[in-house]
C-alpha cells in the first residue's frame, strides 16, 4: 500500500473517531440529563467537557503528525525526482561519450582510447593516486563524471585488450 493511501486512511480514521466521539457525547449527555435531573448534571458536564478538550488536543496532535508526514513524503519525492534526473543526465552523457569514442575510432581508424583534455586530466590525476573527490575538486566537475570517465577508460581498455587477442 502506498504512503499516500496510508495517509488517506489515517485521515479517514481520524474523521471517523471524531464522529464517534460526538455521537457518544450526545448520547451520554441525554442519558445523564434524564438520569440525574439537576444536581450532578453540572459536574458531569464539566467532566465531559474536560474529556472532550483532551480528545480535541489529541486529535490536533494527530493532525499535526499527519501533516508533518505528508510534508516529509513530499520532500522525499522531490529529492528522488532530482536524483533520477541526475542519473538520467549521467546516463545520457555516458551514451554520448561511448558513441563519440566509437565514432572517432570508426572514422579515423585510430585508437578508441583517444580522449579530450579533461578526460586526460582525470586519468592523469587518477594515475598520480588522487581519489574521485580530489579529482572532482581540482577540475571543478561532479565526482560522478570522474567515476564515469574512469569506468569508461577501464571498459574501453578491456575491449581493446580483447580485440587485440582475437
**Cell numbers that stand for 148 in this block:** 564515469
- Report how far apart, in Å, the C-alpha atoms of 150 and of each of 92, 134, 157, 160 are: 16, 14, 11, 15
Band (pLDDT 50/70/90 cuts) for residue 38 is low
pLDDT at residue 109 tops 50: no
Band (pLDDT 50/70/90 cuts) for residue 75 is very high
Q: What is the pTM of this model?
A: 0.39
Q: Say whether 95 sits in a helix, a strand or coil.
A: helix
Task: Average the pLDDT over 10-25 and give the result.
Answer: 88
Q: Does 4 or 51 have the greater pLDDT score?
A: 51
pLDDT at residue 110 tops 50: no
Report the chain's terminal Cα–Cα distance, integer Å. 53
Cα 68 to the center of its chain, rounded Å: 15
Mean of all residue pLDDT scores within the chain: 80
Taking the CA of residue 130 as centre, how many other CA atoms within 13 Å lie in the half-sphere pointing to its CB?
A: 19
CA angle 83, 87, 89 (to 5 degrees): 115
Amino acid at each position: 500500500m502506498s504512503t499516500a493511501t496510508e495517509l488517506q486512511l489515517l485521515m479517514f480514521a481520524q474523521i471517523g473517531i471524531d464522529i464517534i466521539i460526538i455521537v457518544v457525547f450526545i448520547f451520554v449527555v441525554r442519558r445523564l440529563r434524564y438520569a440525574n435531573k439537576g444536581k450532578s448534571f453540572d459536574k458531569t458536564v464539566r467532566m465531559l467537557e474536560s474529556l472532550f478538550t483532551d480528545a480535541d488536543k489529541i486529535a490536533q496532535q494527530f493532525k499535526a503528525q499527519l501533516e508533518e508526514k505528508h510534508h516529509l513524503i513530499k520532500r522525499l519525492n522531490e529529492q528522488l525526482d532530482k536524483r533520477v534526473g541526475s542519473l538520467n543526465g549521467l546516463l545520457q552523457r555516458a551514451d554520448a561519450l561511448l558513441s563519440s569514442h566509437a565514432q572517432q575510432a570508426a572514422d579515423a581508424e585510430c585508437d578508441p582510447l583517444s580522449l579530450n583534455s579533461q578526460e586526460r586530466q582525470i586519468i592523469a590525476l587518477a594515475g598520480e593516486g588522487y581519489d574521485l573527490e580530489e579529482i572532482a575538486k581540482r577540475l571543478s566537475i561532479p565526482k560522478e563524471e570522474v567515476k564515469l570517465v574512469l569506468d569508461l577508460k577501464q571498459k574501453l581498455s578491456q575491449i581493446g585488450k580483447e580485440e587485440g587477442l582475437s
